[in-house]
Amino acid sequence: MSARPAAGTGEDPGTAAARLTGRPVTRQRPLSATLTEVTLDGGRTVMVKRGDGPGAVRAEAAGLRWLAAADAVRVPAVHGHDRHWLVTGQVPVGRPSARAAARLGRDLAALHTVGAPAFGAPPPDGPTDAYIGLAPMRNVPGTDWPHWYAEHRVLPYLRRAVDDGTVGRGEAELVERACERLPELAGPAEPPARLHGDLWNGNVLWGTDGQAWLIDPAAHGGHRETDLAMLHLFGCPHLDRVLEGYQEVAPLAAGWADRVGLHQLFPLLVHTVLFGRGYAGQALTVARTALAR
């Protein structure tokens, strides 16, 4: 598989890496359509990612730097970026362990505690129009989590799913009614947390150094239970140990386990928009469960 140039740039990943790092490239190995492993002169290996939409690279670079600034979780260093390309450090991948999982939980708690200026606040230098995976995501600040979450995280993707014909209008009413009940279902009010924002298992790398590393953030200010709900949704090795470590540092409010589904509405509807009807059924089940409480 050959490395593809970014649309409109004429550059391949190796050329972009050399320009952005100032180091000649000795080798490049494509890993996917958008990700290439590049070895720089001197032996350092970096990851070169091609952005998939306007602002995507800027948002990811700003998110990585914002998470790193908290001095809590491990993220790859940003070695350079422009509108089309992002160059980051490589994480040598090993195997997950219970010890690393417990530390990840403690570190996530520390990250969340650092906080954010508001719900929906983007990282410094991050764009308002960001991305979660391949889906656009707007970072619009708000002060009240239930209303902000409904307006800026759940309902935009629900409307898109209805427009696409993936969710019926009658089905959408279930989710809308669940959103109306969020103020009573959301639990005690909490300050905005600094979130990774797209914390599914694929964005947790278990390094050969025995620690967990986080990649591909959709970072913003949000509710801390949202990151944990994402880990629940798509599975995470030693999740029980992650939660134990988290609770040691920043205990979750009573009833958090009953709220996991509410925090999963956002990623489930994002996946409905990106991947279709299968995820819509899960979102509707969450809404029905919430309405039955």
For the chain, domain boundaries: 13-89, 98-292
Dihedral of CA atoms 207, 213, 216, 220 in degrees, nearest 10, equals 170
pLDDT band at 53 (very low <50, low <70, confident <90, very high): confident
How far is 276 from 104, CA to CA, in rounded Å?
32
Residues 6+ apart with CB under 8 A from 240: none
Res 234: pLDDT = 85
Runs of H (alpha helix) within 250-276: 260-275
Handedness of CA 244, 249, 255, 258 (dihedral sign): negative
* CATH number among 2.40.50.140, 1.20.1560.10, 3.30.200.20, 3.10.20.30, domain 13-89: 3.30.200.20
Report pTM: 0.94
- Asked if residues 131 and 55 have their Cβ atoms less than 8 Å apart, the reply is yes
Check 12, 107, 198, 227 and give the catalytic one.
198
- 198 among known catalytic residues: yes
How far is 270 from 135, CA to CA, in rounded Å?
7
| % residues pLDDT > 70 (the chain) | 97
Q: Say which amino acid occupies 69.
A: A
Q: What is the pLDDT of residues 81-98, one digit of tens each?
A: 999 999 999 999 999 999
Q: What is the pLDDT of residues 161-216, one digit of tens each?
A: 999 999 999 999 999 999 999 999 999 999 999 999 999 999 999 999 999 999 99
Phi and psi for 241 in degrees, rounded to 5?
-75, -35
Does 2 score more than 50 pLDDT? no
Say whether domain 98-292 belongs to CATH 3.90.1200.10: yes
Dihedral of CA atoms 91, 16, 84, 195 in degrees, nearest 10, equals 20
Res 6: pLDDT = 52
Q: What is the pLDDT of residues 124-157, one digit of tens each?
A: 999 999 999 999 999 999 999 999 999 999 999 9
